[in-house]
Every structure is written in C-alpha cells, then in structure tokens.
Structure 1
Amino acid sequence: MENTKKVPVLRFPEFSEEWVVKKIKDISTIKSGSTPLRSNKDFFKNGHIWWVKTTDLNNSNIIKTEECITELALKETSVKIYPKNSVLVAMYGGFNQIGRTGILKVDATTNQALSILNTNEKVVLPQYLLTWLNAKVNLWRKFAGSSRKDPNITGSDVAGFPISFPQISEQQKIADFLLQIDNRIEKLIKKKQLLEKYKKGVMQNIFNQELRFKDNEGNDYPDWEEKELGDISDVRDGTHDSPKYHQNGFAFITSKNLLANGSIDFENVSLISELDFNNFNKRSKVDIGDILFGMIGTIGNPVLIKTSGFAIKNVALIKEKQELKNIFLVHYLNSSLVLKQFDDVTVGNTQKFIALGKIRKLKIHIPSLPEQTKIAKFLTEIDEKINQASKQLEGTKKYKKGLLQQMFV
C-alpha cells in the first residue's frame, strides 16, 4: 500500500518529518457493542458494569456512565467489556450525534450505536486518535450524506475514515498540549456551574426572605408586601399579526429569541418593514429598561432590555412603574417562586402557552425600593461573574478550534 505524506500548518519546531495518511482500519481494530434485552430487568437492576451509550460521549475522558449492566447480562448476551483507552465513535442519531467521541478511562461495555477502536499503539496513540476525530468531526457528514437516506454511519464508514499522523513522539506532544487546553476548559465549565449554583441558592434565600439586607445604618428594611404584577407594573404584549418578512429591515423578536442567559438572540430573527415596525410599536414599543417575557413555546427567560429598535410578538412587555424596579423584577421572575406559578398556569397541548392575564395575576413579593436596589446590585454582580466565565470558556473553545484547524493535516 502506497502512503500519502503531508505536513500541518502549525507545528512544534523540533519536528520536521512528513505525516502519513492512512485509514482507521489500517491502524486500529473496529468493533461494536450490544444492548441487553430491556425486558429482562435482571440485566440492569443493581448493575455495576459501565455501559456506554451515545449520550455518555463527551469528546473526552469517560470515567462513568448513566447506566450499568449486571454480570448476568455479560454472561448471557453478546455484550463485551472493552479496555481502558478504547476510543468510541457514535454512528447513529443524525448529524447532531454522529462522530461524537470518548475515550474509556475505565473498563466498560457499550451499546451497538458505537464503534470501539483499539489502536496499534506503536503506530497511533489512542489519545491522538481521539483528538484527530474531534478535529475532523465534520467529515462524517460527507460519509453519512453520500450513501444513504438516514444521516448515520456504518462500521465500514469508520473503517474507511482517513487519519493523518506523525511519529509517536510528536503525537504525544500534540495530545499533551491539547489536554492542557481541555483541562482549562473543564475548569472554566466547573467555575461557571459553581457560580450558577451559588446564584440559584442565594436567590432562593433572598426571595424566600431568609436572607435580608440592611440599610446603610444597619437597620432592617420594612416587611415585604405581596401584590399582583399587573397592579404594580404596566404589562402588555406584542402584536398578534403575522407580517411579511424581508431580506432587510427591523428585527422581529419572538419568544424563541429570548435566551436563558438573559440576552436576546439577534442572529436568528426575521426582519420586517419599517411600516410594520412603526405600526406594531404604536401598541408595544420596547424601550431600554423594559422586560421581555416569553409567552408561547418558550415560557419565561426574562430579559432586561439594554438596546431598542425592534418589534415583538408572542412575548409580554413589562414596563416599570414607581413601586417596582425592573432591575429587581428581572431576577424575581427567574426565581422558584415565580416558576412554581408558571407550572400551575401553563396551558396548551402541543405548545406551551401562558395568557397575558395570567402574567398580570402573578404574585410578587415586593421589598422597599432601597432594598430592591441592593438586591438587584448584588445579583447583577454575580451575573457579571457568570458572564465573564462564559466569555473565558467560549474564548478558550474558540482558541482550541483554531488550533485544531492548523495542527492537523
């Protein structure tokens, strides 16, 4: 077999040899797993043997699985245990799933939706293979889309998948370098998760009034009062019309554009004419400082508006009055006290929906204006830390993606 040789754009300076291009079948064994009969509960109940499914794949180390199987399943079915450093590839599940990977850091079994690759480690290191597959995940689309109707891949596709690789010492250095970046990403993910968990807990304590703020003199603020949202805020909704969309124009925001992180997705929006924009804004003009709240499909995801110049549909528009500050309300609307009320009033069989009248009837516990300001400031500072961690995480992921594009042939 004649080898094709190439070199990457970005490389460690001590290496100069050309890379070899082969197929996975040339450097690895390829096997698949199995699923014990679900109807036999003895195959799963109190199991302790790791059993990997596509949803367990994280493009990185696999140290545990969602489900386990029993010794009986291992004995009476075709399920087999695969060793540490086996590389797994998802074959089914459409374009969002195929090509997902993982590398076993524990001995484990798998289901039939995965290919199990065990490399000749004198030729290709398992960690390098994992990194290569992650860098070339989009190539699976060509395999899946070219030969069959369903966007899945087969064992033959995996066998024929190309891989470029250098000598072992360079593979090791590449894998170690990228592992450092993966560790950085993992730390940022944990940092963000801890901040989110902390905010959730402290919000519960604040809005249940278990944690109270004091004024600048150290005195208690007045007791909170319970009122309906419609009595203390101007609550209206956007247009009910379905305008014609255009290539250029003004953004038309609906519930689906309200994101859980408190921002608006302006990239995936429809555009409307200036005439429709002006007509819709006679009824529900969105101003900076207002709150948008999803009513159809996406329920909730309140957003405090920081920019204007768009129209709305299928969202509630909450304008501030004197008694209740929106900088406080936007946090309260994300609390468990409000979410519980949504569970009670959400209606609709195929699509979630909450009527405007129900939003106006939401019960809100209101502190004094000075305490509202302190609470909003405190929670906003936590949000800023979460956003900073998110930016660091996305920046590191983008940096890694750029490296992957240049470090491999």
Structure 2
Amino acid sequence: MTDIQKENKSGGKVPNRGSVNFPRLRFPEFEGEYRQYSFEDLFLFSTGKNIKQNEASPEYETPCVRYGELYHLYNEIISEVVNKTNLDKSDLTFSIGNEILLPSAGEDPLDIGSASALTIKGVAIGRTINILRPLKKNLYSNIYVSYYINEKLKKKISTLAKGVSISNVYNSDLKILNALLPSISEQQKISSFLLLINSRIQTQNKIIEQIEFYFKGIKDTLFSQKIRFGGFAEDWETKKLGDVLLKNSTKNKNQKYSTVQSVSNKYGFINQEDIFEDRRVASVDTSNYYVIDKGCFAYNPSRINVGSLAYKFDDEISIISPLYISFKAENIFLIDTFLLYWFKTIEFTKQMNNSFEGSVRNTLSYENLIKMNISIPSLEEQIQISSFLTKIDQKIQTEKTILEQLETQKKYLLQQMFV
C-alpha cells in the first residue's frame, strides 16, 4: 500500500472537492474529479435465458452461470466458472467478457444487490439475472463497478425490491441508480490492486483447504490404526464410553456462579450475552444449571448431529442449561484431547448415526452415547497422537487468522477507496 495516498497525511495533493466527496485513499498519480453517471447512461440492459438445475453440471460442455450460483459460488469477480450446460447454443445468451451480473430475484432483498463482474467470453448466462453491458467504450471497468455496486449501492438496490416471499429487482428498476466514477485509468488501477488482494485471499483459502483435507485424512488414519507412531506396538483396548466417561451432576445449587454459557458449533462454549446481547435467555433461577469447569465436555442432545459439541479449555467456572448433557473423561484411561479428536472421526459419526432417537429430530441421549465403543491405546500413545494433531490444528488456526486479516484489509480498502 506504499503507492496509495492517504488523505491529508501523505503529503500528496488531494483535489479540491467542492460538492464532490472523494475517497480517503487514492493512488497519488490521480487527481481528477469524479464524475456522476446514471446507470441508464452507462449500461445496456438485458437478461439471460433459462438453464434449469438438471441442465447444468461440471461434466457438460458449455460454461454457464445460473442465478442461484451468484449467491453461493461467486463473489465480485467471476474469472472461472464451475458448471456447464448441455443445452443447444442457439437457445442461450453468451457473455462477451465485459458484463456485470446481478440476480433479479431472491429471498433476501440484500442478496439482489450482489454484483459479479463476468470477465470470461463465451459463458452462457441463465435466466433471472440482470445483465449490464457497456453502452459506450472506455467509461468504466466492469470489475471496478462490480466492487462499487457491492460497496455503495447494495442497500439502495434492496429498497427497490418488490414482492413478499420472493423479492424481485428488474433492469427497469436499476436504471434510476447513479454511480460516481473516477477516470477509466484510475478504475483500472484500483481494479488491479483489488484483484491482487483477491488472489491472496483465494490462495489463503486453498492453503487452509489443503491442510484441513490432510488433517481429516491423517486423523482418521491414526484412529483406525492404519498407521502408528514408532515405538508403539501394543494392541488398542476397546471399551464402552460408559467405562471411560463421568457424567457431570454438579448443580449450581446456591446460584454461586452467574456466567451462563451455551454450546456453539463453531466456537465451543460461548457466553450467552455474547450471542444474545441484552435479551435474557437464562432462567432467573439457575440452581438446576450444571457447573462447568476446565475439562468438561457438553453437547445438545438434539443437535449433536451437526457437531454441536464443546470442550472447556479455560479455567473460568461457568454454568450451562440442564438441557445440555455434560461429562468428563476418566483420565486414568483417557486424555481429553484424544477424546476430543475421536469425536471428530468417521467412526464416531457412524456410531452416532446408529444411536439416534426421535422421529422429527435426531436426538442422542447420554444413555445411547455411553453404549458406543471406543478403541484406546496407552496413555503415552494417546499423548503422541493428540500432540501431533494439535500441531496441525494450530497451523489451521494460524492460517485462518491470516485469512481474517486479509479479509479485514480488503474490507477497509473498499470502505476507503469508494465514494
């Protein structure tokens, strides 16, 4: 970012604004004023043609983009596509490589303001997509304007949405919008810079995916004993979980503890006030809540199938609702981290799926949990396995922190570089 000028701090010139707002960050070689354009002066508007879900697959021939994919598969830039179609080419609308795509329908009005710059020629564009193409040459960069729409116009577009259960925004609605744009050369410079950041984010995502793929594979290989660390040859002992778990029965009888926690699929134990802010969810009387301290496991018996199981890493003593099931590992047989990783194995998932009760929602009772079998090596081998997996786990978390930093940087730049 050394070649980006920071407003009033870098010593570079900041243009006389007059009635026009300028970004707080700007490349120093650009000083010209921004110009306001109506969408009607910028774009030619059209829509795509129908490509049904069963008419799109990576195995087909003609690259395509369907409107639902704009929500789930793509972001501000589409430089490669996932699906292809087998429809006759005469029935399709194809890209030139300078398009901006916006879904024209969605359940959430904010989704409709999600723009994607399609930079590839020859891609079939599906129905329910608003297609924006240049009315004249050299007025805008489709990558820049895609970022601009997402950063500055998304909420405005959502207010144009019509409909109740499904919201719709048509090309005729978009024509009333305006965009404040710098010169085409400045747009292209900003676009190239943002592409570089996007590339770093994509690379970071791939690094995380590769490590997570390795972690999943090596974890199940270790727990299935297909490979073992050197120096360990003793057979693993199979036990019932009931033989190695201790159910938590400690209640908050005198309401001594007040920090109420919930079990989060993503974060483990989490304070309820962090989830619900000012809304009270805990009972006024918490005397029947379970006391949770370091080393406790807990899960929601009706949500265990989505991985809602937590482990208490910290020393703070807290309480959880009696709706949760809480237990500890019997440490003469089992160390905590070994059990925690076992709960993430294919073997546990298989046994869990065979232990569910309930016709409407899968429920895993503690009685059924403790009937499961677990194969346990010596404590020394458990420590070796746990230490190895923990190092990989920590590496994943480090890479995720880097990804979060990149995404925060991108968000900051978008806020500062667009007006």
**Range into which the TM-score falls when normalised by the shorter chain:** 0.7 to 0.9
Paired position in structure 1 for 2:344: 334
Q: Does 1:292 align with 2:302?
A: no
For 2:309, give the aligned amino acid.
P
Paired position in structure 2 for 1:103: 117
Q: Deviations over 1:15-48 (max 9, x none)?
A: 121211223222111211121567xx88989741
For 1:16, give the aligned amino acid.
E
Q: Which runs of 5+ in 1 are unaligned?
A: 240-248
Q: Does 1:112 align with 2:127?
A: yes
Distance (Å, rounded) in 2 between the aligned partners of 1:101 and 1:349: 42
3-state SS of the aligned residue for 1:377? Answer: helix
Q: Does 1:164 align with 2:176?
A: no
For 1:168, give the aligned amino acid.
I
3-state SS of the aligned residue for 1:372? Answer: helix
Q: When the two structures are aligned, how many residues end up with a matched partner?
A: 380
Q: Does 1:234 align with 2:242?
A: no
Distance (Å, rounded) in 1 between the aligned partners of 2:292 and 2:40: 59
Paired position in structure 2 for 1:27: 42
Q: 1:371 to 1:43 in 2, by over 3 A?
A: closer
3-state SS of the aligned residue for 2:46? Answer: strand
Distance (Å, rounded) in 2 between the aligned partners of 1:100 and 1:209: 48
Q: Does 1:398 align with 2:408?
A: yes
For 1:65, give the aligned amino acid.
V
- Structure 1 length as normaliser, TM-score? 0.84
2:329–2:335 contact (8 Å) kept in structure 1 = yes
Q: Deviation at 1:381?
A: 0.9
Paired position in structure 1 for 2:168: 152
Distance (Å, rounded) in 2 between the aligned partners of 1:9 and 1:230: 62
Distance (Å, rounded) in 2 between the aligned partners of 1:44 and 1:331: 36
Q: 2:63 aligns with which of 50, 59, 62?
A: 50
Alignment of 1:120-199 (within 5 A): 120-136=136-152, 138-140=154-156, 142-144=158-160, 148-149=163-164, 150-199=166-215
Paired position in structure 1 for 2:6: none
Distance (Å, rounded) in 2 between the aligned partners of 1:42 and 1:177: 36
2:335–2:382 contact (8 Å) kept in structure 1 = yes
Paired position in structure 1 for 2:312: 305
2:269–2:310 contact (8 Å) kept in structure 1 = yes
3-state SS of the aligned residue for 2:143? Answer: helix
Q: 1:258 aligns with which of 250, 265, 269?
A: 265
Q: Say which is worse superposed, 381-390 or 23-32, in terms of deviation.
A: 23-32
Paired position in structure 2 for 1:242: none
Q: 1:350 to 1:87 in 2, by over 3 A?
A: farther
1:237–1:315 contact (8 Å) kept in structure 2 = no
Q: Deviation at 1:6?
A: 3.6
2:64–2:84 contact (8 Å) kept in structure 1 = yes
1:6–1:18 contact (8 Å) kept in structure 2 = no
Q: 1:320 to 1:297 in 2, by over 3 A?
A: closer
Q: Say which is worse superposed, 327-336 or 118-127, in terms of deviation.
A: 118-127
For 2:297, give the aligned amino acid.
I
3-state SS of the aligned residue for 1:163? Answer: strand
3-state SS of the aligned residue for 1:310? Answer: strand
Alignment of 1:306-321 (within 5 A): 306-307=313-314, 308=316, 309-321=318-330
Q: Does 1:7 align with 2:22?
A: yes
Q: 1:353 aligns with which of 337, 351, 363?
A: 363
Give me the identity figure in percent.
Answer: 26
Q: Deviation at 1:158?
A: 2.5
Paired position in structure 2 for 1:365: 375
Q: 1:370 to 1:155 in 2, by over 3 A?
A: same
Superposition CA RMSD, Å: 2.8
Alignment of 1:208-227 (within 5 A): 208-214=224-230, 219-227=231-239
Q: 1:69 to 1:170 in 2, by over 3 A?
A: same
Q: Say which is worse superposed, 392-401 or 13-22, in terms of deviation.
A: 13-22
Q: Deviations over 1:119-152 (max 9, x none)?
A: 244100111112212323642464246x553443
Paired position in structure 2 for 1:245: none
Q: 1:399 to 1:43 in 2, by over 3 A?
A: closer
Q: Deviation at 1:8?
A: 1.6
3-state SS of the aligned residue for 2:197? Answer: helix
Q: Say which is worse superposed, 333-342 or 298-307, in terms of deviation.
A: 298-307
2:114–2:154 contact (8 Å) kept in structure 1 = no
Distance (Å, rounded) in 2 between the aligned partners of 1:364 and 1:180: 48
Q: Which runs of 5+ in 2 are unaligned?
A: 1-18, 252-257
Paired position in structure 1 for 2:103: 90
Q: Deviation at 1:272?
A: 5.3
Distance (Å, rounded) in 1 between the aligned partners of 2:25 and 2:56: 49
Q: Deviation at 1:289?
A: 1.6
Distance (Å, rounded) in 2 between the aligned partners of 1:44 and 1:326: 44
2:239–2:373 contact (8 Å) kept in structure 1 = yes
